[in-house]
Chains A and B, each alone.
Chain A
Amino acid sequence: MKLLLIILPLVASLSGCAVAPWERGNLAKPQMALDPNPMQTELLGHSHGSREAAGAGSSGTGGGCGCY
């Protein structure tokens, strides 16, 4: 909740700096995608998830026992 209280005003303040649709060319480039390499990210995520305690949180997206 506290985080939301911080984020929302921040967003509100940022919304002043409008970026017109025709100015979004750079944002649309593949290198600017939130995850430019989703397949590798998924594979590495699976390795990290089976070796790190914090990886266990991302359930609901499959996975397995990772018991090895």
Chain B
Amino acid sequence: MAAIKGKNKVLASNPLQSLTAAALLLPGVMLGVAQAAEDDEFNFQYGRYEESHRNLGDIKSQFDPISVDSLQAGSKISLTDRVKFAFNFIQDTWGGATPISTAPSVRQGNQPLVVNNTLVGATPYLQTGTPQVVYFDNQLNPLKAVMDENTGEIMSLGVDKQLAHTMALASPETRKEGNFKLGYEWDEAAIDVGGGISSERDYESRFGNLGGRWDFNQKLTSLNLGLSYTNSDTFARQDHDASTYIDYVGYARNMKDTSDVQITKGRMLTGNRQDWATNMGLTQILSKDALLKFGVGYTRSTGYMANPYKAVTVFFVEPVGGQVGEYSETIPYVGQVKAFLEKRPDLRNQWNFSTGYVQYINPLDAALHFDYRFFHDDWGINAHTFEADWVQPLGAGWTVTPRVRYYSQDAADFYKPYLAVMHATDSDLNNKKDLNYLPANYSSDQRLSGYGALSGGLVLTKQFAKGLTLETGFEYYNHKGSFKLGSGGEGDYADFSYYTANAALKVNLETVGRGMSGGEHDHHAMHHNHGAPLPAGVMFGHVMTTPGDIMIGYRYMYSRQDGRMLHGHELAADQDIVSNGCNLEPGLTCRTSPAFMNMHMHMLDIMYAPTNWLNLMVMPQFMDMDMKVRSLGGVTPDVNRDHLHGGHETGGVGDTGLYAMFKLYQGAGHDINMGVGVTAPTGAVDIKLKRMHTKDEGYIHYGMQLGSGTWDFKPSITYTGKVDDWSWGAQLNGTKRLENRNQAGFAFGDQLQSTAWGSYSLFNWLSASVRGIYTVQGAVKHQFNAVIGDTSEGSTPIMGDVNPKEGSMDNPKNYGGRYWDVGFGLNATIPSGSLTGNTFSVEWLQPVEDDVNGYQLERNGTLNATWSYGF
């Protein structure tokens, strides 16, 4: 029995995970001879999540709701017949308004910010602000008094049934994740080991997992087992504005003062959490047209599991006494408002049970998928998920899949929209005595409330003959308290909806390889080896000359600026920058300059050859950047004026390139081609700084915007040559802004770049290159449109342009320059085996000389890495 118990522990599990694991492992092998093993592939996906505005009662939030841009790229490859390797890179950037607390509407958690009779925003109010007190009846219901506007007299009283979220803006933040899986397959079994890391500004998660699969019963039955461990750290810098309003007394031990001398005393919440998860999945073929699956899972989570930015509104209630005169009978109680950072138990046991059924519909060649999942945890939450998909192939490689999903959950035991405790308090923050009157745990996070969610969507896929699959999908999700199974759902104030849209591309490397057996394969391998290997940083260098050929590529670029400030090509002293770096307006001096800036760019490269002399290219880009700002020497840091709060981040979709490339000349060992194209302004140029220190801020620095905002013309001309093991090339390329200014009011300068390189083949698959690059770029033209807000440093508002102008990076003149770089690169083209036709290249660009316009940070270098695959 003990043995069985022990076994049972291992077998318990998380069904969604087991199904996912099953999905990852099974298609193919489980089904035995009828289906091949999972193919090698490269995949790429862009996803967009956008939430609706929240219902705040009488006030409309001025903030845009949360939106998330996600980027995912991954590959699965067979290292040998039996050893499989998969890796993924995932990046999400989000920003926007999110609820930080909930209170009765009479509390007025969101107040319109009116300066000089102009509505300039809406501000969250957690503790201070009017009213600081709320009146309650005998049942501790909050009372809403209707006042006469002129006399201030109370006209009527009633129970305030309307709750409202207090919304606060989260500035853009980026999460990056890398993960891998290494597996070994036998004929009827497989094991795999995997792991990864996920990192963002305030959270880091490291995880590892083990999985196994065993097919038996003539491969009619398949058993999956999985075990995973995750260790996560929270290090959440508390919002400056919220610091004075949120009560952190429950977290005295987890709070540490940030030691950054450039910031007035800040608070950082730290915590650690660990998750152990096990799962078991069973898949059974029922007939030649149906299969069934089961999963069980168990997850044990310990440590800090609360949300470090969410607070619970607490009313400390006491008899009102004689304060309200004639209303003393109808208003027995008055509550003093405080907001406490939420607390959750430090242990959570979670169980999952799931089942699924897949039925082939013969007359329509379609498949119906139905899944049900039950979740239970010891926080008091039971949840049900029902999902149905209809996968309908339409012919010619098209498949359409309508999906529908229903989810319902109970509230956690400690969930309360707000708390009212029968005890008086004082107005001091972080008073330990308050804790005596609060429950052990409390949260008003909507995720722990009782509600239901109905969602539905569509996936459309098109498979091309060459093993290329494009997929696009959409889901609309509606969260409502009234959708909860049974009764007791949260009020309609918490209702919201969102949509998720995605576009994905998959290249099946096996299909391509199989489709090109024999001579044709050799032809392709040779084709992609033909011509000169290009350094990773050179684009538009090759033209494919076989009509119908497709090339998929992925480019990554990382560049960093760090350290010294330059003026022209000389070092700039801080005092010089202070006096002359921010001369956008007469008399303006600089207070800050960048300490460092990182830029990452991911670019997908899709190229098609309709004829032997023309190639068409589409290049979507994804950017993310972060910058830290420092006070200049001799300037006393002023937290109300300089945005010195731990760095800025932006990220998301960048500009999209559309190009045509022409073969101008092709001779023995010499090629000349020309590229013409445009970039469409799909990247945002209107990202603003978050309102901080009770002051509105304008646009974030020019260099931190995600695109140019203008349509840009991008011509290029390239010459490449090759003799034996030596190859060389030269290119001239330019960027001409086709508009004088973008929607935010400015335009980046035009750019001209010339480059020349030489390359030597060390082996038949590997070459090394050296390259010289000279770049000229103009300064930013015009400047950001004025953003009207309160520019005062005191309490009396003065309306004016609140765009930041006291940082050197906020001056349009401090952009562009003349740059010399030297590049060192390696280029590998796989000549044989399962990865034939794949090209990998890397190049490091080392700055040799900078001659910058105005005052700018010195460049440290740029890393280019590319992968491409032609078929």
Contact = CB atoms under 8 A, between A and B. Distances in A.
Contact of B412 (A41, A53, A61, A68): A53
Given A24-B35, A26-B360, A62-B198, A48 B407 contact: yes
Nearest to A59: B275
Interface in B221-242: 221, 226, 228-230, 232, 234, 236
B286 interface: yes
Interface in B290-319: 291-294, 296-297, 299, 301, 305, 307-309
Contacts of A25: 34, 288
B277 A19 contact: no
Interface residues of B, number: 122
Interface in B458-483: 459, 461, 471, 473, 475, 477, 479
B209 interface: yes
A64 B200 contact: yes
A28 to B, nearest CB: 4
B708 interface: no
B101 to A, nearest CB: 14
Given A40-B504, A43-B45, A7 B282 contact: yes
B170 A61 contact: no
A61 B279 CA distance: 13
A37 B392 CA distance: 12
Contacts of A51: 447, 453, 477, 479, 498
Contact of B498 (A7, A22, A37, A47): A47
B391 interface: yes
A4 B308 CA distance: 39
A62 B90 contact: yes
Interface in B389-448: 389, 391-393, 399, 401, 407, 409, 412, 447-448
Contacts of B11: 4
B209 A60 contact: yes
A68 B477 CA distance: 17
Interface in B250-306: 275, 277, 282-289, 291-294, 296-297, 299, 301, 305
B545 interface: no
Chain A interface size, as a band, is 35 or more
A31 B291 CA distance: 12
A68 B170 contact: yes
Contacts of B175: 64-65
B108 to A, nearest CB: 24
A32 B389 CA distance: 11
Contacts of A62: 90, 177, 179, 196, 198, 205, 207
B23 interface: yes
Contacts of A60: 17, 207-209, 226, 228-230, 275, 277, 299
A53 B185 CA distance: 35
A39 B500 CA distance: 13
A63 B288 contact: no
A4 B280 CA distance: 10
A23 B283 CA distance: 18
Interface in B17-59: 17, 19-20, 22-24, 26-27, 31-35, 43, 45, 47, 49
Contacts of B301: 56, 59
B241 to A, nearest CB: 17
Given A43-B72, A45-B16, A54-B385, A34 B293 contact: yes
A57 B308 CA distance: 19
Contacts, number: 250
A42 B234 CA distance: 24
Given A36-B391, A37-B401, A52 B447 contact: yes
B623 interface: no
A54 B90 CA distance: 22
Nearest to A33: B27
A61 B360 contact: no
Nearest to A34: B23
B188 to A, nearest CB: 13
B31 A24 contact: yes
A14 B203 CA distance: 47
A19 to B, nearest CB: 5
A24 B35 CA distance: 8
B286 A17 contact: yes
A9 interface: no
B407 A31 contact: no
Contacts of B33: 21-22, 24
A47 B49 contact: yes
Contacts of B685: none
Interface string A8-24: 00010011011101111
A65 B401 CA distance: 31
Nearest to A37: B459
Interface string B151-163: 0000000000000
Nearest to B48: A43
B2 interface: no
Contacts of A44: 475, 500
Which one of A23, A24, A31 has the highest number of Cβ atoms from chain B below 10 Å of its Cβ? A31
B727 interface: no
A34 B385 contact: no
Contacts of B744: none
B19 A34 contact: yes
B225 to A, nearest CB: 13
B217 interface: yes
Contact of A26 (B20, B230, B362, B498): B362
Interface stretch (B350-358, B729-737, B745-753): B350-358
Contact of B287 (A17, A31, A53): A17
Contacts of A15: 217, 220-221
Given A14-B284, A43-B70, A67-B203, A29 B409 contact: no
Given A21-B32, A21-B33, A42 B72 contact: yes
The 9 closest A-B pairs by CB, nearest first: A60-B228, A24-B34, A35-B23, A28-B35, A65-B203, A54-B375, A31-B391, A54-B383, A31-B367
Given A38-B23, A61-B179, A62-B207, 10 more contacts: A11-B284, A17-B286, A27-B35, A33-B23, A43-B70, A47-B500, A53-B379, A60-B277, A62-B196, A68-B96
28 contacts: A3-B294, A4-B8, A11-B221, A15-B217, A19-B285, A21-B219, A24-B33, A27-B35, A30-B393, A31-B391, A32-B367, A34-B356, A36-B391, A39-B506, A42-B72, A47-B68, A47-B498, A52-B383, A52-B407, A54-B409, A57-B297, A58-B17, A58-B20, A59-B228, A62-B207, A64-B200, A64-B203, A67-B202
Interface of A: 1, 3-4, 7, 11, 14-15, 17-19, 21-48, 51-54, 56-65, 67-68
